[in-house]
Structure 1
Amino acid sequence: MLESEKHSGRCVALVTGGARGIGLEIVRRFLADGYLVAFVATRAEHVKRALDLFGCPEDRLYADQIDITCHNEVDVFVNRIRARLGEIGILVNNAGISPQRAVQDASWLSQTSFDEWARVIDVNLNGAFNLIRLVAPAMIAQGYGRIINIGSLAGRAMPMIAGPHYAASKAGLVGLTRAAARDLAPHGVTVNCIAPGRILSGLTGPPEAAVNRSALTRIPVGRFGAAEEVAHVASFLASPMTGFITGATIDITGGEFAA
């Protein structure tokens, strides 16, 4: 029996970091796909702005300000989602931070404190692991689930912009994806990773910024990516028809990774 035949009803999707950039576009696309959606962000003003933007009723869209490194907060929020919308069938681990280098001509390693390293790993990697751990049992029980981790080109190739903590955390997401895919595959739960390259958004700055002009020279298709393009792939991986795709990492880099 195909996953599309086993799965019925209105699926609930949880997107972390869903108030801006790629996460916001994934929330937008999932709503268009007919899912019930919950999302979290670290700033209350970002949550409010996103909720006002979508204007959806509370029985379709639920959000809150959560620090995903605070496991008790996350546990409470997941239980609230279950009470308001239903059991989570789709998880998108999108939340992430990438500190900027203070002095551009100095090495990343010399400017990265252990506290900064630990914070990035805690948000980008540990937060994803904790959420998978929380939602997987119910997915196993219902025999269906879709988990999508948002990685990065920086975790697949030599990082040209991001720091060592960001690159390590995103490389770790690729490994976590494969390990979780192996464990959950017999239960109808797929786990995949999307690795975007240079996607223009409010987080990456304008195209004319020096860092973006330099990045453009490395992209074979000759343009930057759009957050909507990542959301399209997330929509595909979240669908019931992708039950035979698991443990995969899909690069959205305009050819930069292949180059």
Structure 2
Amino acid sequence: MSGVAGRTAIVTGAGSADGIGFATARLLLAAGARVAITSTTERIHDRLAELGAGPDRAFALPADLTVPAQVTGLVDAAEAALGPVEILVNNAGMTQVGGDVPGGRLSEMSEAGWDYGIAINLKTCFLMTRAVLPGMIARRYGRIVQMSSVTGPLVGIAGSSVYAAAKAGMLGMTRALAIEVGSSGVTVNCVGPGWIRTASSSEAEITAGRHTPVGRPGTPAEVGHAALFLASEEASYITGQMLVVDGGNIIQEYKGGS
């Protein structure tokens, strides 16, 4: 298997040491890829140090991916450091350091809250994807992996309407884009995590994970392995799909029984 060896990847939303983005970056690096990581804060440099790779293998830059100029700057800097971007993992979203993440019932949500939720979860994905696509198409090779969710595309949670809308929008964008670029050697897929235990998980979320058929929440690395596969050369005939990583939770009707 050639996997991702020798390829250059960008992983967004990799600022948390216990998050899905950083776990994915570590797996890509271990599999032989060159990896650029980003988050909204300077803590991304701590993650770079933890990767323990030289400047020819790993790169980090903080960026606000809702700002087009910062997206362009990130891609340009990553390519200058590591070479043309051939893999993009759009993991940024859900939460943003320093931001007020919108929640609550739709009827009570402000327009600003809605716009912010769409911006950090969906607009970031659009801007990053648009920035790397021309190069991928020109080289006739690319792997784009969007970190969607089961929430939105498959299930819903009261009080999470903007998050669900953004994640469902991500899947819709993925399917349309897969058709647009399929003949150019570029695949576009989603990963759909369920209950995953990260540093930001609430006790209620961890409890919900215990009621999956597997009997526990997932780990960031388990999601990262799914992203790694979709980013690999071997996934060349898979596009426009969502790979669900949820311990089987969506297949069961009774979720709280013994």
Which position in structure 2 is the counterpart of 1:219? 212
Which position in structure 1 is the counterpart of 2:204? 210
Which position in structure 2 is the counterpart of 1:62? 59
Is the contact between residue 156 and residue 257 of structure 1 (CA under 8 Å) also seen in structure 2? no
Q: Secondary structure at the match of 2:35?
A: strand
Which position in structure 2 is the counterpart of 1:83? 80
- Within 5 A, what are the aligned runs for 1:1-259? 10-20=6-16, 21-44=19-42, 46-98=43-95, 99=101, 101=103, 108-160=105-157, 163-205=160-202, 209-213=203-207, 215-216=208-209, 218-259=211-252
TM-score (norm 1): 0.89
Q: Secondary structure at the match of 1:166?
A: helix
Letter in 1 for 2:9: A
User: How well do the aligned residues superpose, as a CA RMSD in angstroms?
Assistant: 2.0
Letter in 2 for 1:67: D
Instruction: Name whichever of 144-153 and 56-65 sits farther off.
Output: 56-65
TM-score (norm 2): 0.89
Per-residue Cα deviation, 1:200-229 (whole angstroms, up to 9, x for no partner): 010214xxx23432x136422211111110
Per-residue Cα deviation, 1:155-174 (whole angstroms, up to 9, x for no partner): 22332366111000000010
Q: CA shift at 1:114, angstroms?
A: 1.3
Q: Secondary structure at the match of 1:147?
A: strand
Aligned length: 245
Instruction: Find the aligned partners of 1:10 and 1:125 in 2 and give their Cα distance.
Output: 29
Higher strand share: 1
Q: Give the share of equivalent positions with the same residue, in percent.
A: 38
Unmatched runs of 5 consecutive residues or more in structure 1 = 102-106
Is the contact between residue 251 and residue 257 of structure 1 (CA under 8 Å) also seen in structure 2? no
